[in-house]
Amino acid sequence: MTTLIINQEEVRRLLKMGECIDLMEQTLATLARGDAVQPLRTATWMPDRKGLLGTMPGFLGRPRTLGIKVVTVFPGNHGTELDAHQGAVLLFDVSNGCLLAIVDASEITSIRTAAVSAAATRCLAREDASTLAILGSGTQARTHLEAIRLVRDLRQARVWSRSHQHARRFAARESAGLHVQAVPTAREAVEGADIICTVTASREPILCGEWISPGAHINAVGACLASMRELDGQAVARSRLFVDRRESALNEAGDFLLAKEEGLLGDEHILGELGEVLLGQVEGRRDPNEITLFESQGLAVEDLAAAGRVHQRAVQEKAGTTVTIGEKRHATA
């Protein structure tokens, strides 16, 4: 059987951010309707804890998509030429189980993660939000800046990184058409910001609740394990909390789980899933002064929807590389 291999460059060309934002809204709404199968992901750590292998299977009912993302996470790659997240999304034919495509996962992840944050921002942030704070200066910082600019009319952006040199390089590189300022502390980035995106691999809080201005919206992206957190307990407790999927947050969202351990909140603090807000089943922002928080764990159905769209485009444009993986069943007597 023939399988299409689609590399990083082709994913970047075939999946545009604006289109992906709309696609992620549709996908999360489909999940909220119950038309998807979304198991919890598994993480297999190397003995030295240097990196892990993550497996994220799923099924999406519309469009019908079956597959799995297999990805490695090596935090030590930050600051090198290698992405911290690498791997592939495997798409299978829903009628016969044949392997349809192998799609570069690093680019799928970088685009769809920012697209989901932009969908949350479009749904939950104030309409007049115009100042963006980004905590982190890596790949997700770049794609989040691109995505948020598509859903809000930004006047300025401030970026902080543990390496101020990295932050300065990011600001210089991304300042075309928008003033991007590198600041020396996370607090300086956050104070007065309307939208805050935390996109780091931190295991300890980098965003304190006392810094957050009334009316701000937060996209918490980097803490994808129960032991990791980017926000302190006060930041979570002060916010109206929405998640991509409730089960994932209750099992994997360190920002929420560690604040819960500290006794600052309970499970009821999760007001709903973003898909439920998009469908009008759960109320989102109620007034201009409240703080909203979207806790993004990253879901297999998001990867499958994005990879499925890339595969569809690749077939239309005759892109990718075709290989033979698997053959017909051997004849038997």
**Do 167 and 85 share a structural domain?**
no
Residue with more model confidence, 78 or 292: 292
| Domain annotation covers residue 118 | no
| Domain annotation covers residue 333 | no
Contacting residues for 321 by C-beta, under 8 A, at least 6 apart:
4, 5, 6, 7
**Do 185 and 45 share a structural domain?**
no
**Do 137 and 35 share a structural domain?**
no
**Do 201 and 140 share a structural domain?**
yes
| Domain annotation covers residue 198 | yes
Taking residues 68-84, report their average pLDDT. Answer: 85
Q: For the chain, give the mean pLDDT.
A: 95
Tokens 């809204």 sit at which residue?
A: 25
- State pLDDT tens for residues 225-238: 899 999 999 999 99
| Domain annotation covers residue 41 | yes
Tokens 């764990």 sit at which residue?
A: 297
Domain range spanning residue 209?
126-295
Read off the pLDDT band of 332 (50, 70, 90).
low
Q: How far apart are CA 330 and CA 27, in angstroms?
A: 38
Give the CATH number of the domain where residue 218 resides. 3.40.50.720
**Do 17 and 30 share a structural domain?**
yes
**Do 176 and 94 share a structural domain?**
no
What's the domain count of the chain?
2
**Do 80 and 194 share a structural domain?**
no
**Do 157 and 138 share a structural domain?**
yes
Q: Which residues pair with 158 in a beta bridge?
A: 133, 181
Q: How far apart are CA 315 and CA 137, in angstroms?
A: 34
**Do 30 and 60 share a structural domain?**
yes
Read off the pLDDT band of 73 (50, 70, 90).
confident
- State pLDDT tens for residues 82-117: 877 889 999 999 999 999 999 999 999 999 999 999
Give the CATH number of the domain where residue 59 resides. 3.30.1780.10
| Domain annotation covers residue 167 | yes
228 touches 204 (CB < 8 A): no
- pLDDT for residue 218: 98
**Do 210 and 100 share a structural domain?**
no
- pLDDT for residue 326: 73
Taking residues 2-7, report their average pLDDT. Answer: 96
**Do 149 and 89 share a structural domain?**
no
Q: How far apart are CA 160 and CA 38, in angstroms?
A: 34
Taking residues 31-49, report their average pLDDT. Answer: 96
| Domain annotation covers residue 329 | no
**Do 281 and 177 share a structural domain?**
yes
Long-range contacts for 39-46 (Cβ within 8 Å, ≥24 apart)? Answer: 39/300, 40/247, 40/248, 40/251, 40/252, 41/252, 41/300, 43/225
- pLDDT for residue 147: 98
Structure tokens at 257: 């789980």
- Which one-letter amino acid corresponds to residue 191? E
